[in-house]
Amino acid sequence: MKQPLSINQSLFRNMAITRKFERDIDLLLAEEFLVNPDFASWFRSRTRFAAESTAQVVDVDVSKATAEGESDLIVYYQRPDGSRFAIFIEDKIGALLQPSQADRYVARAARMAGSGYIDGADFVLCAPSSYIEVCSPEAIAAFRVRVTYEELATAIESDGTSPRARYRASFLREALAKPKSQWQKQVDEETDAFWMSAYDLASRHYPILEMRKKSFTKGQTWVSFRPHDFPTMPRRVEVAYKGGWGFVDLAFSSTTAHRMHELLSSPLPDDMTLHQTGKSASIRITVPEFVITEGWECCKDAITAGFEAASRLIAYFREHRSSLLEAADAARQVA
């Protein structure tokens, strides 16, 4: 015999919204920032303003439209001296990121900073973890911080005694179960088999990559490596293998490439070049391109060359870690 629902369970079920849209999440988060100082403080701690513990949220813009386009959320924090900084949030449940969408956020922040309204900004992508996993590194490079819906739900329900907090955390988690009419990761056996062969190759011959098993979206030709000793704060460092483009990049987030190049203590090896990739500075090695449909046997040599390049970049970072991070810190991008 079924047990009757508790009052709270019944309330949650009766208020359930079958399909969650990004606008629903925008409004939920906007209210949370304004009425929940613990949540606002936790979220700020994930950004480059982690040390600004005395700053308080004073305003939130939802769907703010400017000449550069629309921002899902802009959260304004004010310091005791009256100065402000802003956190720009792009919220995604299923829709794909548009070309240059992240760069337009940077342009909006620069305009606000130029007017004196804010003196700094950071950029956050909020989405289900499954969404973030399949985004290309180039598409989300300007979003220096990525916060998953799972993390948001856990932070909101940290006040475990509040029915409101439990409901709102439940609301976010339900958004993870996307209806079939929304975007879903397109799993493909051929692609997964291809990358499983690549994983086997890496495990046997390139353990330095610390490659992890994962499911790939159809036709995916890129993968990121972040060994255990690579930092995430104050900037994220990772190696991005962009096989479809023929690049392997050692990327330093929130860094200006030309400035970092000027500050390097020694010249790069002849086959390494420095490039601006979104908001990251990337030390690049060019490698053969490949496409999944050519099959593993045809692409094995290209993958091997890519793994060799990625291994070299990891070793190069470890050998020159101090000088590279010092140059990246001095070349830090300021919104």
pLDDT in tens, 241-261: 999 889 999 999 889 999 999
Going by pLDDT thresholds of 50, 70 and 90, the confidence category of residue 5 is very low
Average pLDDT over the chain, rounded to an integer:
85
Torsion angle, alpha carbons of 314, 316, 318, 319, to 10: 160
The whole-angstrom separation of Cα 184 and Cα 181 is 9
Position 131 pLDDT exceeds 80? yes
**Is 239 in contact with 314 (CB distance < 8 Å)?**
yes
pLDDT in tens, 45-61: 999 999 999 999 999 99
Q: What is the pLDDT of residue 310?
A: 98
**Is 158 in contact with 137 (CB distance < 8 Å)?**
no
Element (H, E) at 33: helix 22-35
Note the pTM of the prediction, 2 decimals.
Answer: 0.51
Position 22 pLDDT exceeds 80? no
User: What average pLDDT does the segment 275-289 reach?
Assistant: 91
Q: How far is CA 169 from CA 81, 149, 154, 157, 278, in A?
A: 34, 9, 7, 6, 32
Torsion angle, alpha carbons of 251, 255, 261, 266, to 10: -60
Position 146 pLDDT exceeds 50? yes
Q: How far is CA 147 from CA 10, 210, 235, 329, in A?
A: 30, 23, 15, 23
N-terminal to C-terminal alpha carbon distance within the chain: 60
The whole-angstrom separation of Cα 256 and Cα 331 is 5
Nearest residue to 303 via CA among 249, 250, 248? 248
Beta sheet of 121-127, edge-to-edge order: 56-66, 69-78, 84-91, 121-127, 145-148
28 φ, ψ (degrees, to nearest 5): -60, -45
Give the sign of the dihedral formed by CA 212, CA 213, CA 218, CA 219.
Answer: positive
Q: What is the pLDDT of residue 2?
A: 45
